[in-house]
């Protein structure tokens, strides 16, 4: 057990270091986090495990390995003849440099190999964190709150930093991040978990009458309130809307599975939509309402124009992509919108990964994500009273917030947010394994927390 706690502390330090140092964007700070993740792995596996988390299906594990091998392949120099077959546009770009650089006999598929390798290491570190959090969650299943505590602490600290900035006269809360949208993302991912842990603690049954469950629940809901305020005062339009949508998803997943009547479900959905609209109008600061009103103006947001200009780019790098972080150099040819401003991200994670990984890398990536998320979502829909289901509902709410925000931003290119997302995925996958084990071996209700 001590090895697991040490591993969790090291993993939490890695997340805190990443988030508090400009969200891990400086490469040196992310290297420190990777070292801490490696130390956590060594600590966890330094002793034989008596309680082992059931392995993921082999197809998922091998798909993850295949994706990492594919990304390594993108960085391997290939003869120009071979490169011309696999990626004609990349070969054309390489030949265009011959008059400047002299004879070139080989080049990788990636248009920016150095940035590609750095981001490949980033993805590998987050994959390692996912598997480690999954194992730790199962290992600590009788005190599962401990497995998510570091993430909640980091998110709470970021929320407090943002609120202190507002109290000091700042126009918006950004915490230690460079952008309000990226700052908002880590808060909206953890908010549903803070709410559901409060529900679980409040409903925990004890042998002796005690106010301790109510105290723990109140603490979680105070944290949820801080996260909510941080989101509101970040003035992030996408973050604020995603937060409300994730709360609506939370309500639906909590209430629908135990509501057999279609009429009641329609009523719950209508009530949730009305509550979300009311929060949007009532809880939004004046500056937020002004930004939301400005969204209607097409000229105020260039994302749609950027996405329109990506169509030819997806065709040119259709199969093998342009390599990780290769969007910036290859997009310059097609950038017509905001010519005075450099567009280095597509503001849509899914489109950008499609361009950089190509169809042969992007489809396995989406299949792998779906194979991990689907059991979490399916178990969260179970009508059982098991407390683990409520926590899985919180995981689904956080995942939904990230996916929605990634449609209009590049949060999965921010190391701290990708790390937090991997943590939630690992926590949800570990809880799914706990739920499956409890279904086979009947345990007392509430055992997951006692």
In a domain, 407, yes or no: yes
pLDDT at 449: 41
pLDDT at 323: 87
In a domain, 92, yes or no: no
pTM: predicted TM-score of the whole model, two decimal places:
0.89
pLDDT at 11: 93
The residue range of the domain holding 283 is 7-75+110-440
pLDDT at 13: 93
Helix, strand, coil percent content, the chain, rounded in steps of 5: 75, 0, 25
pLDDT at 129: 93
pLDDT at 246: 86
pLDDT at 144: 86
In a domain, 101, yes or no: no
pLDDT at 448: 40
pLDDT at 16: 92
pLDDT at 311: 78
In a domain, 98, yes or no: no
Give the contacts of 172 (CB within 8 A, at least 6 positions apart).
165, 166, 180, 233, 234, 235, 287
In a domain, 340, yes or no: yes
In a domain, 236, yes or no: yes
pLDDT at 276: 67
CA–CA distance, 409 with 67 (Å, rounded to integer): 23
In a domain, 44, yes or no: yes
Biggest alpha carbon distance in the chain?
A: 82
**In the structure encoding, which two tokens stand for residue 378, read together?**
């399916």
In a domain, 83, yes or no: no
Low-confidence residues of the chain: pLDDT under 50? 298-300, 441-450
pLDDT at 446: 39
Domains: count for the chain: 1
pLDDT at 222: 93
Give the contacts of 278 (CB within 8 A, at least 6 positions apart).
none
């Amino acid at each position: 057990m001590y090895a697991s706690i040490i591993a969790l502390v090291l993993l939490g330090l890695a997340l805190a270091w990443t988030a508090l140092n400009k969200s891990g964007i400086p490469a040196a700070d992310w290297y420190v986090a990777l070292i801490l993740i490696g130390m956590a792995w060594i600590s966890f596996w330094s002793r034989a495990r008596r309680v082992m988390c059931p392995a993921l299906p082999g197809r998922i594990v091998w798909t993850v390995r295949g994706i990492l091998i594919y990304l390594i392949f993108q960085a391997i120099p290939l003869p120009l003849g071979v490169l011309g077959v696999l990626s004609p546009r990349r070969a054309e770009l390489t030949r265009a440099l011959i008059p400047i650089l002299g004879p070139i006999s080989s080049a990788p598929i990636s248009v920016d190999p150095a940035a590609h390798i750095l981001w490949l290491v980033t993805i590998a570190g987050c994959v390692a964190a996912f598997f480690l959090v999954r194992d730790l969650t199962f290992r600590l299943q009788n005190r599962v709150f401990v497995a998510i505590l570091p993430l909640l602490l980091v998110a709470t600290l970021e929320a407090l930093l943002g609120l202190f900035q507002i109290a000091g006269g700042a126009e918006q809360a950004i915490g230690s991040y460079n952008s309000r949208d990226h700052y908002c993302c880590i808060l909206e991912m953890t908010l549903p978990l803070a709410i559901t842990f409060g529900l679980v603690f409040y409903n925990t049954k004890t042998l002796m009458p005690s106010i301790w469950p109510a105290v723990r629940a109140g603490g979680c809901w105070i944290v949820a309130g801080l996260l909510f305020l941080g989101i509101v005062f970040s003035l992030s339009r996408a973050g604020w809307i995603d937060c409300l949508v994730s709360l609506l998803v939370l309500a639906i997943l909590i209430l629908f599975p135990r509501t057999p009547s279609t009429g009641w479900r329609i009523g719950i959905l209508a009530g949730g939509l009305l509550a979300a609209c009311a929060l949007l109008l009532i809880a939004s600061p004046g500056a937020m309402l002004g930004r939301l009103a400005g969204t209607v103006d097409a000229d105020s947001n260039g994302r749609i124009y950027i996405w329109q200009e990506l169509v030819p780019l997806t065709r040119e790098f259709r199969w093998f992509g342009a390599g990780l972080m290769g969007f910036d150099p290859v997009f310059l040819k097609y950038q017509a919108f905001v010519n005075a401003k450099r567009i280095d991200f597509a503001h849509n994670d899914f489109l950008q990964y499609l361009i950089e990984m190509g169809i042969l890398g992007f489809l396995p990536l989406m299949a792998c994500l779906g194979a991990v998320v689907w059991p979490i979502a399916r178990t969260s829909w179970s009508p059982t009273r098991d407390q683990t289901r409520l926590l899985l509902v919180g995981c689904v709410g956080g995942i939904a917030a990230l996916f929605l925000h990634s449609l209009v931003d590049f949060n999965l290119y921010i190391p701290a947010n990708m790390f937090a997302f991997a943590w939630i995925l690992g926590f949800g996958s570990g809880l799914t394994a706990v739920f499956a084990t409890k279904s086979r071996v009947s345990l007392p209700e509430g055992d997951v927390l006692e």
